[in-house]
Structure 1
Amino acid sequence: MRTTRTVRTALVAAAATGLAVTALSTAPAAAAPAAPKFLSAGQWPASLTPWTAGPVRKGLPEYGSVCTAGITPAAGTRHRDFRTELDTGARQTNTVAPTEAKAKALTAKLRAGLASCLDRLKEQDPGLEGTSRYHGRVNVEEGAYVYSVDTSYPEIGSTDIALWSVGRDGRTVTVLEWGQLGDLAGAPLKGFKKTTGVAVAKLH
């Protein structure tokens, strides 16, 4: 599988797998009151077909999240995958750090990882082309920051667009990722920024 497909396709595949075992996976009841809240399916930008939410899972996702892999710790982390009937997927990952200072440091590392993601993907796959952009801050709680990674293989005409954001509320850091076929012009950037604001405000 080519790397550019991994940014989006891994989200879609992971979401489908998660939904298939929803009935078998539930978050521990005792931890639920203290755990950060996740987005619901209807809070993602509108798609041609409805979003479906998978279960909240403990730890890091097994697949996907290529731009932040190796940065987010498994401890204190939970994630939730989302999908539509079309080739679109999304994920939210929440991490509760031991201290607010460590949460702030994690946010900085995640932002650096997003900013350098395209360069790292190109190193892994020299045939990859693309554009990475920072789309500014969302003013919510301690702030959230939005990025896009637009990738393509000119020789076969494939294009993928991924939107990312990282935000923080106290000790909790949340990362949103959204991906589909196409380019930035066809992505719901305005809606994604709104979803980012909702996600951070909803954490606690």
Structure 2
Amino acid sequence: MVTFRSALAVSGAALGLVALAAVPSATAAPSAPAPYASSAAADAAAALRPAFLSAGQMPPSSTPWTADPVAKGLPETGVFCAPGVLPEHGTRHRVFRTELDTGGVQVTTVAATEAKAAALVDALRQGFLGCGERIERENPGVEAGSLYHGKVEVEEGAYVYSLDTRHLEIGSTDIFLFSVGRDGRTVTYVQWGQLGDLEDAPLTDFRTTTRTAVNKLLP
């Protein structure tokens, strides 16, 4: 039996696919305030940071979700389908995993202005929509298709996409869901993936997860 991890380990070498369920745990927790910083100032700064999804707010899975600590910067795997779009500075992320073949990640960044945040959303959306075509062009042994699944009415809006891939040599199929949403200057990207096809994906629940993620961005 080809597992989600082994299938993505093979296809990832050719495609740059993200092995969601096998993403390593965060190696570094956010640094503690300097000894001379007041605890009140540290608490105030933490309160202004965008909140992240909890494990229980991911789409339902056959085994429980666990969530790594929120970490600074981009995840080691980057932003799938839109590499190089989100900056390292001002960005944090959280990796989610289950005991079986399902995993996810949330990445949140705070832009300098609302206009720059809106531009980041547009760039991510372009990357999502063109992802399947790019994968097929670069990898003749793979069939891939990207679909747009509409807007979620929350704050400045959120947008949901899917990527369905089939590795012809291995015979495996993988389904990914992506979303990007914005509240003011803050942009969040949510990713979910597992073995299977679009009909296996919890699209309605993922839309709920996306709405929750955007609602949590600003205190």
Q: Match for 1:106: what amino acid?
A: L
From 167, 170, 182, the equivalent of 1:156 is: 170
Contact 2:11 2:167 in 1 (8 A): no
Q: Note the alpha carbon deviations across 1:128-186, whole angstroms, 9 max, x for none.
A: 10221000000000000000000002333200000000000000000000000001000
User: Which residue number corresponds to residue 11 of structure 2?
Assistant: 2
How far, CA to CA, are the matches of 2:53 and 2:15 in structure 1?
Answer: 25
Following TM superposition, where does structure 1 have runs of at least 4 consecutive aligned residues deviating by more than 2 angstroms?
A: 3-8, 26-31
- For structure 2, the residue ranges without an aligned partner over 5 or more in a row are 1-9, 34-41
Q: Note the alpha carbon deviations across 1:115-139, whole angstroms, 9 max, x for none.
A: 1111222232111102210000000
- For structure 1, the residue ranges without an aligned partner over 5 or more in a row are none
Q: Alpha-carbon deviation of 1:78?
A: 0.5
Q: Give secondary structure in 2 for the equivalent of 1:123.
A: helix
Q: Alpha-carbon deviation of 1:65?
A: 2.9
From 179, 196, 202, the equivalent of 1:182 is: 196
Change (3 A) 1:109 1:186: same
Contact 2:72 2:91 in 1 (8 A): yes
Change (3 A) 1:27 1:176: farther
Larger Rg belongs to: 2
Q: Alpha-carbon deviation of 1:67?
A: 0.7
Q: Match for 1:146: what amino acid?
A: V
Q: Match for 1:7: what amino acid?
A: L
How far, CA to CA, are the matches of 1:123 and 1:94 in structure 2?
Answer: 30
User: Which residue number corresponds to residue 55 of structure 2?
Assistant: 41
Matched, 1:126 2:140: yes
User: Which residue number corresponds to residue 22 of structure 2?
Assistant: 13
Q: With structure 2 as the length reference, what TM-score do the two structures score?
A: 0.85
How far, CA to CA, are the matches of 1:5 and 1:181 in structure 2?
Answer: 16
User: Which residue number corresponds to residue 4 of structure 2?
Assistant: none
Across the two proteins, how many residue pairs are aligned to each other? 198
From 96, 100, 105, the equivalent of 1:86 is: 100
Matched, 1:136 2:150: yes
Contact 1:27 1:57 in 2 (8 A): no
User: Which residue number corresponds to residue 215 of structure 2?
Assistant: 201
Q: Give secondary structure in 2 for the equivalent of 1:18.
A: coil
Q: Give secondary structure in 2 for the equivalent of 1:72.
A: coil
- Greater alpha carbon shift after TM alignment, 189-198 vs 57-66: 57-66
Q: Match for 1:18: what amino acid?
A: S
How far, CA to CA, are the matches of 2:175 and 2:79 in structure 1?
Answer: 14
User: Which residue number corresponds to residue 57 of structure 1?
Assistant: 71
User: Which residue number corresponds to residue 102 of structure 1?
Assistant: 116
How far, CA to CA, are the matches of 1:73 and 1:32 in structure 2?
Answer: 20
User: Which residue number corresponds to residue 170 of structure 1?
Assistant: 184
Q: Alpha-carbon deviation of 1:64?
A: 4.9
- Greater alpha carbon shift after TM alignment, 83-92 vs 56-65: 56-65
Contact 2:121 2:180 in 1 (8 A): yes
Q: Match for 2:29: what amino acid?
A: S
CA RMSD of aligned residues (A): 1.7
Change (3 A) 1:78 1:51: same
